[in-house]
């Protein structure tokens, strides 16, 4: 009896339970269908929701368990909704959260959901994972999320949520993963996060959080990933993070954190990725970091860290990426860095590292990227780098490296990018390179490389950019370079290129400041892919080729500073893409083509300093352009005269003959003047033999135009000043003599007015008997009248007659460098900064003589006895007795005398005057100033000795002065490196004095 009753009870319960399950399942189905109906603009992927229907073909009851993206438990209740990446477009307004009490997983990421997250989301009380990332949700995170105490994973990444993180989030005490990244959250990080003791992953990155990092973050003992990057957090890094013993990843980059890096971070033994980059951290790298033996990534770049790299950094043998660039680190790169056998990227650029690149860097066999640019590294590039066969990028630009590029670079066949620009490297440009099948970018600019470009270009099949500008490369561009199908950028400006061929694939070509002459090749029109062409500062003449019209993609054309003649060809107007055109400083004449008015893309034009005439085209480019130096232009803007005032076109054409005839007449007059000049000096020699006194003076156009030969600013006439000087030194009495040399003696003349002069008297008894001595005197007079520079002795006047021949110049208190360096007391007063200024002053003077005088002047006798110092220890180059003017149209064959110990080695076999002679002498002088005596052991020696000199700089300083500071030591080392470059045996490999000045100013 009891048994049937029990069976009936069980049956009743089952029927009741079955009814409730069926009823609840139907409720879930209707809730899903109602939300589906509210969605709009669904993409093709959303057709997967077609299975969501009340009428499946074989359905006996309404259940969503067979619908796409819906998963149920054993009794048919929905426990998971996964609809990621379907393009669902809509809101949560019609989503009935209360209909899914058993839901554990909700994934609606990567859709187009927008609007707020409703507070009703708290009804999902059993939810363990919520992913709403990559949508367009907005508003604040509802506080009710804090009621989801079963939540283990929470993703709100890549939305447009804003507002602060609610304090209630701290109620999610069982949460395991909290991801709120890639939103627009603002406000502070709530301290209540410290209550989430089970949290393993915390992502708050890519928001707008501000304030400091709460100390309570140290309570998250289970945390293995902490990502607070890309916010606006300030303050210091809390020491409490040292409690996160399980932390494997710490990302705090791209914030505004400041202060020291806590050394306690070195206690996080599980840490394998550390990124504190792009903050405002300062101080040194903690020594405790050497304890992070599992670390694979260390990024501390773009802060204000200082000090040196700890030698113990070599203990991090698991490290694969080290980024310390853009800081204020200094010191040497420690040799222990060679222990980082797993290192793949080493970025140390934009710091203050000095000294040598350690040879141990060759042990990093896994290294693929090496960036050491913009430091103060010196010495030679280590040969061991050739062992790093996995290297794809090498960047050592803007340092003080010198010497040869190691031939071991031929081993680096994986190289893709190589930059050595702005160093002091020398040698032949091609010697270090072999077969580089992957090289796409090569920059060797601003060095002292020389020789011809004789690469086997077939070894560079992928080379797209080649920059070797500002070197001493000469000769022709090899024709096979035109066979390269990849080369798009070629910059060989500021070299000595004399010829180039077809380069049909180029998009960028810069051959400015070379020695290209004759006509611009018509084949230039074949470079149809060019976007940029610069042929300025050469010696091109004849006409602009009409073939330029084929360059329809060219946006910038620079032909300035040449000798181009004729008219501007109207075919230029066919260059539809041209934006900038520079034709200045040529000999172009005739009318400007009116078709320029149709060039809509032209925005800038420079036609200054030509012989153009006629009306200016009505174009914005001309209205804003540079046109000075043309006397025949007219128009209604830029204060030009009206074109009505000008002659007709026929008259303009006749005027061409005047333009041609007048220069010819001028040349005739010049020749007559030169002939008279030689007759004049011949008469002078004859008159001098008759002992008739004659004075010569500076050019009448100068400030020193006194006809008696002396400076008018001294308020003396020439004859009176001559008598005053002779009287002041008692007719060249011995007691007034302050120095003697090969050419004569120097006297100190103090006039009654208090003015003091230095008087250099030539050996008069030889002057008219020996033509060489007469030439030396005339050379010095001519040189001194032509030059004006703060670091060159100031010339006041001269006299030449049968009795005396002398030069009058300013008197400098301290005398010559030789005198000062030989006197211990004077040398001790001559400090390091003053010595460096003297070296720079001499360099500036020589750069002026070589590059700013026309024609250039070679001093020919730079030595410590010919550098005088004033009371402020300012340098003044003197004694121009053997100065030579470099006529570009002359071979300049002449014998040099110079001073033993300063003369360049080519004096033994080469008589031609070149500026590289002075460069060598300057190198000797610079070392002499630093050492305190003549560097005889290092002149005409080998390269290895030079390297030893740099590495042993302390042994090569003047020990009469105190040991220099680190900053001064760096500068002295740089000067010595530049000086050594000036002493190389090959004149072509020596830098120009302009380059020397640039290097000394780094």
* Count of CA atoms in the C-beta half-sphere (13 A) of 1001: 9
- Angle (nearest 5°) at CA 65 between 63 and 70: 130
Cis peptide before 644 (omega within 30 of 0): no
Q: Measuring CA to CA, which residue among 162, 172, 209 is closest to residue 193?
A: 172
State whether the Cα torsion 935-940-945-946 is positive or negative.
positive
State whether the Cα torsion 29-35-40-45 is positive or negative.
negative
CB count within 10 Å of CB 43 equals 13
Q: Measuring CA to CA, which residue among 758, 763, 755 is closest to residue 746?
A: 758
| Rounded-to-integer distance, Cα 381 and Cα 200, Å | 47
Determine the length of the chain: 1002
Cα dihedral value 586, 592, 593, 599, nearest 10: 80
DSSP 3-state assignment of 201? strand
> Any idea what DSSP says for residue 507?
S
- Angle (nearest 5°) at CA 747 between 744 and 752: 150
CB count within 10 Å of CB 569 equals 16
State whether the Cα torsion 351-353-357-363 is positive or negative.
negative
Which of 861, 879, 918, 970 is the catalytic position?
861
Q: Measuring CA to CA, which residue among 109, 124, 119 is closest to residue 31?
A: 124
Determine whether 443 is an active site residue. no
Q: Measuring CA to CA, which residue among 936, 935, 943 is closest to residue 989?
A: 943
Q: Measuring CA to CA, which residue among 205, 303, 202, 214 is closest to residue 256?
A: 303
| Rounded-to-integer distance, Cα 846 and Cα 842, Å | 6
| Rounded-to-integer distance, Cα 333 and Cα 358, Å | 7
For residues 995 and 470, the answer to whether their CB atoms sit within 8 Å is yes
* DSSP assignment of 314-372: GG-TT--EEE--SSEEEEPPPGGGGG-TT--EEE--SSEEEEEPPGGGGG-TT--EEE-
**Residue by residue, what is the 3-state secondary structure of 412-423?**
CCCCCEEECCCC
Residue appearing with tokens 């061991």: 384
CA distances from 737 to 229, 744, 745, 765 (A): 76, 11, 7, 18
| Rounded-to-integer distance, Cα 517 and Cα 145, Å | 79
Residue appearing with tokens 């995170």: 141
Long-range contacts from 74-82, C-beta under 8 angstroms, 24+ separation: 75/21, 76/21, 76/22, 76/25, 77/21, 77/24, 77/25, 77/28, 77/102, 78/28, 78/102, 78/103, 79/103, 79/104, 79/105, 80/104, 80/105, 80/106, 81/105, 81/106, 81/107, 81/108, 82/107
- Angle (nearest 5°) at CA 518 between 512 and 524: 60
Q: Which are the contacts of 712, defined by CB distance < 8 A and separation ≥ 6?
A: 703, 704, 705, 706
DSSP 3-state assignment of 760? strand
Catalytic residues, by residue number, are 861
């Amino acid at each position: 009896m009891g048994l049937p009753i029990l069976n009936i009870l069980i049956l009743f319960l089952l029927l009741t339970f079955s009814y409730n399950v069926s009823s609840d399942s139907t409720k879930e189905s209707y809730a899903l269908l109602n939300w589906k109906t509210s969605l709009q603009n669904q993409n093709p992927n959303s057709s997967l929701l077609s299975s969501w229907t009340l009428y499946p073909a074989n359905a006996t009851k309404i259940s969503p368990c067979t619908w796409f993206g819906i998963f149920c438990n054993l009794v048919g209740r929905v426990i998971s909704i996964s609809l990621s990446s379907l393009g669902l477009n809509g809101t949560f307004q019609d989503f009935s959260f209360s209909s899914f009490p058993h839901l554990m997983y909700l994934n609606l990421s990567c859709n187009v959901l927008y609007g707020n997250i409703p507070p009703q989301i708290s009804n999902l009380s059993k939810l363990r994972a919520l992913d709403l990332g990559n949508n367009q949700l907005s508003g604040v995170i509802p506080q009710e999320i804090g009621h989801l105490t079963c939540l283990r994973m929470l993703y709100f990444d890549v939305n447009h949520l804003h507002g602060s993180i609610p304090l209630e989030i701290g109620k999610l005490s069982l949460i395991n993963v909290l991801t709120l990244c890639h939103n627009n959250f603002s406000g502070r990080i709530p301290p209540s996060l410290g209550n989430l003791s089970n949290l393993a992953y915390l992502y708050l990155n890519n928001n707008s959080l501000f304030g400091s990092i709460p100390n309570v973050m140290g309570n998250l003992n289970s945390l293995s990933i902490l990502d607070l990057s890309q916010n606006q957090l300030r303050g210091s890094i809390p020491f409490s993070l040292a409690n996160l013993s399980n932390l494997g990843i710490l990302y705090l980059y791209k914030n505004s954190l400041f202060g020291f890096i806590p050394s306690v971070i070195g206690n996080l033994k599980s840490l394998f990725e550390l990124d504190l980059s792009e903050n405002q951290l300062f101080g040194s790298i903690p020594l405790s970091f050497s304890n992070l033996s599992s670390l694979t990534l260390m990024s501390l770049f773009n802060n204000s860290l200082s000090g040196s790299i700890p030698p113990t950094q070599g203990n991090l043998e698991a490290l694969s990426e080290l980024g310390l660039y853009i800081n204020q680190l200094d010191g040497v790169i420690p040799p222990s860095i060679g222990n980082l056998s797993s290192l793949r990227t080493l970025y140390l650029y934009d710091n203050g590292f000095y000294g040598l690149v350690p040879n141990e860097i060759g042990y990093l066999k896994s290294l693929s990227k090496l960036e050491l640019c913009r430091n103060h590294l010196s010495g030679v590039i280590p040969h061991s780098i050739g062992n790093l066969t996995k290297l794809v990028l090498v960047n050592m630009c803007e340092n003080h490296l010198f010497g040869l590029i190691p031939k071991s670079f031929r081993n680096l066949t994986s190289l893709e990018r190589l930059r050595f620009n702005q160093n002091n490297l020398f040698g032949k440009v091609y010697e270090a390179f072999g077969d580089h099948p992957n090289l796409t970018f090569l920059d060797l600019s601003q060095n002292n490389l020389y020789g011809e470009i004789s690469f086997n270009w077939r070894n560079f099949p992928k080379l797209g950019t080649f920059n070797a500008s500002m070197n001493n490369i000469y000769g022709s561009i090899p024709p096979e370079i035109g066979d390269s199908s990849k080369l798009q950028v070629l910059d060989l400006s500021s070299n000595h290129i004399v010829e180039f061929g077809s380069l049909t694939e180029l998009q960028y070509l810069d051959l400015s400041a070379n020695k290209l002459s004759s006509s611009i090749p018509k084949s230039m029109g074949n470079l149809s892919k060019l976007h940029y062409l610069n042929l300025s500062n050469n010696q091109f003449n004849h006409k602009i080729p009409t073939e330029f019209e084929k360059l329809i993609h060219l946006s910038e054309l620079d032909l300035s500073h040449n000798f181009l003649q004729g008219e501007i060809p109207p075919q230029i107007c066919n260059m539809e893409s041209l934006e900038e055109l520079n034709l200045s400083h040529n000999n172009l004449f005739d009318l400007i083509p009116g078709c320029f008015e149709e060039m809509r893309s032209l925005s800038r034009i420079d036609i200054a300093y030509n012989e153009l005439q006629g009306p200016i085209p009505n174009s914005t480019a001309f209205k804003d352009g540079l046109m000075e130096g043309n006397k025949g232009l007219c128009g209604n803007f830029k204060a030009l005269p009206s074109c009505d005032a000008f002659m007709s076109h026929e008259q303009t054409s006749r005027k061409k003959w005047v333009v041609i005839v007048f220069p010819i007449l001028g040349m005739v007059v010049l020749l007559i003047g030169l002939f008279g000049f030689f007759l004049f000096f011949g008469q002078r020699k004859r008159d001098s033999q008759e002992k008739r006194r004659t004075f010569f003076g500076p050019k009448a156009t100068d400030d020193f135009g006194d006809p008696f030969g002396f400076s008018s600013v001294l308020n003396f006439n020439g004859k009176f000043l001559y008598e005053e000087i002779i009287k002041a030194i008692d007719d060249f009495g011995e007691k007034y003599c302050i120095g003697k040399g090969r050419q004569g003696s120097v006297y100190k003349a103090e006039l009654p007015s208090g003015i003091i002069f230095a008087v250099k008297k030539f050996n008069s008894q030889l002057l008219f008997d020996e033509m060489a001595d007469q030439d030396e005197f005339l050379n010095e007079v001519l040189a001194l009248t032509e030059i004006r520079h703060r670091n060159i002795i100031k010339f006041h006047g001269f006299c030449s007659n049968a009795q005396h021949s002398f030069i009058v110049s300013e008197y400098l208190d301290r005398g010559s460098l030789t005198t000062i360096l030989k006197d211990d007391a004077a040398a001790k007063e001559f400090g390091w900064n003053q010595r460096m200024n003297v070296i720079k002053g001499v360099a500036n003077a020589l750069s002026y003589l070589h590059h700013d005088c026309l024609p250039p002047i070679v001093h020919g006798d730079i030595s410590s006895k010919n550098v005088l110092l004033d009371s402020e220890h300012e340098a003044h180059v003197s004694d121009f007795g053997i100065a030579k003017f470099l006529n570009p149209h002359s071979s300049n064959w002449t014998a040099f005398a110079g001073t033993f110990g300063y003369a360049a080695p080519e004096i033994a076999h080469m008589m031609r005057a070149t500026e590289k002679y002075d460069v060598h002498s300057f190198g000797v002088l610079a070392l002499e100033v630093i050492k305190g005596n003549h560097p005889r052991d290092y002149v005409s020696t080998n390269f290895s000795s030079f390297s030893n000199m740099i590495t042993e700089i302390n042994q090569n300083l003047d020990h009469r002065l105190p040991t220099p500071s680190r900053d001064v030591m760096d500068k002295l080392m740089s000067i010595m490196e530049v000086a050594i470059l000036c002493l190389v045996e090959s004149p072509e490999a020596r830098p120009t004095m302009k380059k020397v000045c640039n290097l000394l100013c780094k």
